[in-house]
Amino acid sequence: MVFPEYRPRRMRRNETLRALIRETTVSASQLIYPLFIVPGKKVRRDVSSMPGVFQLSIDQLAGEAVELRELGINSVILFGIPDRKDGVGSGAHAKDGIVQRAIKELKNKAPGLVVITDVCLCEYTDHGHCGFLINNEVDNDTTLEILAKTALSHAQAGADIVAPSDMMDGRVAEIRAALDEHNYDMVPIMSYAVKYASSFYGPFREAAESTPQFGDRRGYQMDPANSREALREATLDVEEGADILMVKPALAYLDIIAKLRDEFDLPLAAYHVSGEYAMIKAAAANGWIDGERVMYEAMLSIRRAGADMIITYFAKDMARLLLK
Ligand code: PBG
């Protein structure tokens, strides 16, 4: 069927027709909201490069959970900022560590909320790298042990899902083994399987206070130029026992999301990262774009590329828009 018999505009004439043939949807239950937890009491501190995002102390979490539930958002991912950092990131697996206490508080006050934890050392090391250093290089295999300990401590505190974001080789297998050995065989691993060494993480490092003190993360995170390598990374994580795969960042890597969607049948997450959020917020604040519509378009595009779920600082704004 070709023009003039076929006219695609017929089905675009009004919103009800458009809604009828809409192929992709975004719902609040697919959104995961990141929370930055800091020590102290009654802390609700602005992150200047991420308008609308705050560092929160543990006492703020119950209120936060109520707000999320009212918006229909069922999942959060936690990042902790400890009061002390050291060379080996011991705060990451401390029994009474910041994230461990935050998990307990949330599971206590909002048992229905899915609590995902970011498993990484960069917020806990004084050098800001994601692992244990030997001769100023992150040593893979020593780091695996610390990561496994960290994931286990999250599970013991009650985390529903652990999400390693460090990009060490072999960490999914190591974490799976540690969890299983301690009878946490029902705790899933959401693997940051394809995480690029991206400059879009800038604002996050302000929020999480995790900027590397020397060098960068290109020795462990992926080169943005590579696409076939994404399949190899994801294949390894599937073989090691990942339950959910993730691609990060999202918008500049929609081709990677689509590729993973085609190649794997595991649930797929995309992380719409801090820089992606900050860019939209900044342009909207200048009146250069319609922030709400650009946000919606970004979320739709990530879903259309094939992501089942989206980690995004826009979760609340998006859920509010869906309720309108
Ligand atoms: C590492 C981690 C990072 C992000 C999530 N987990 C930062 C990094 O790798 O430097 C970035 C998220 C964002 O930019 O929103 N623990």
Q: Count of CB atoms within 10 A of residue 97's CB?
A: 21
Q: What is the Cα–Cα distance from 137 to 157, expressed in whole angstroms?
A: 31
Q: Which domain holds residue 126?
A: 26-323
Q: Is residue 242 part of a domain?
A: yes
Which of 98, 116, 210 gets mutated to test ligand 1 (max ligand atoms within 8 A of its CB)? 210
Q: Is residue 308 part of a domain?
A: yes
> What is the CB-side half-sphere exposure of residue 160 using CA atoms within 13 A?
16
Rounded to the nearest angstrom, the distance between the alpha carbon of 76 and the centre of ligand 1 is: 15
Question: pLDDT at position 1, please?
Answer: 87
Those residues whose C-beta lies under 8 Å from the C-beta of residue 130, and which sit 6 or more positions away, are 120, 121, 122, 138, 143, 165, 166, 167, 168, 217, 220
Residue 236 has pLDDT above 90, yes or no: yes
CATH of the domain at 199: 3.20.20.70
Q: What's the mean pLDDT when you consider all of the chain?
A: 97
Q: Is residue 233 part of a domain?
A: yes
Mean pLDDT of 132-158: 97
Amino acid identity for residue 238 in this structure: V
Taking only the tens place, the pLDDT of each residue in 222-235 is 999 999 999 999 99
Taking only the tens place, the pLDDT of each residue in 268-323 is 999 999 999 999 999 999 999 999 999 999 999 999 999 999 999 999 999 999 99
Length of the chain measured in residues: 324
The DSSP annotation for 262-321 comes to HH--S-EEEEE-HHHHHHHHHHHHTTSS-HHHHHHHHHHHHHHHT-SEEEETTHHHHHHH
Taking only the tens place, the pLDDT of each residue in 155-194 is 999 999 999 999 999 999 999 999 999 999 999 999 999 9
Q: What is the Cα–Cα distance from 79 to 91, expressed in whole angstroms?
A: 12
Of the candidates 255, 264, 258, the one whose C-alpha atom is nearest the C-alpha of residue 234 is: 264
Catalytic residues: 195, 248
Q: Is residue 5 part of a domain?
A: no
Q: Is residue 7 part of a domain?
A: no
The rounded Cα 67 to chain-centroid distance in angstroms is 20
Which of 122, 143, 276 gets mutated to test ligand 1 (max ligand atoms within 8 A of its CB)? 122
Taking only the tens place, the pLDDT of each residue in 34-82 is 999 999 999 999 999 999 999 999 999 999 999 999 999 999 999 999 9
Nearest ligand 1 atom to alpha carbon 275? 14
Any atom of ligand 1 within 6 Å of the Cβ of 55: no
| pLDDT over 90 percentage in the chain | 99
Of the candidates 291, 272, 274, 295, the one whose C-alpha atom is nearest the C-alpha of residue 283 is: 291
Q: What is the Cα–Cα distance from 234 to 260, expressed in whole angstroms?
A: 8
Any atom of ligand 1 within 6 Å of the Cβ of 163: no
Q: What is the Cα–Cα distance from 275 to 293, expressed in whole angstroms?
A: 18
> Is the sign of the CA dihedral 223, 229, 233, 238 positive or negative?
positive
Q: Is residue 174 part of a domain?
A: yes
Q: Is residue 15 part of a domain?
A: no
Q: Is residue 122 part of a domain?
A: yes
Q: What angle do CA 230, 236, 239 make, to 5 degrees?
A: 140
Atom 12 (ligand 1): residue with closest C-alpha?
A: 273
As beta bridge partners, residue 163 has 118
Residue 119 has pLDDT above 90, yes or no: yes
Total domain count for the chain? 1
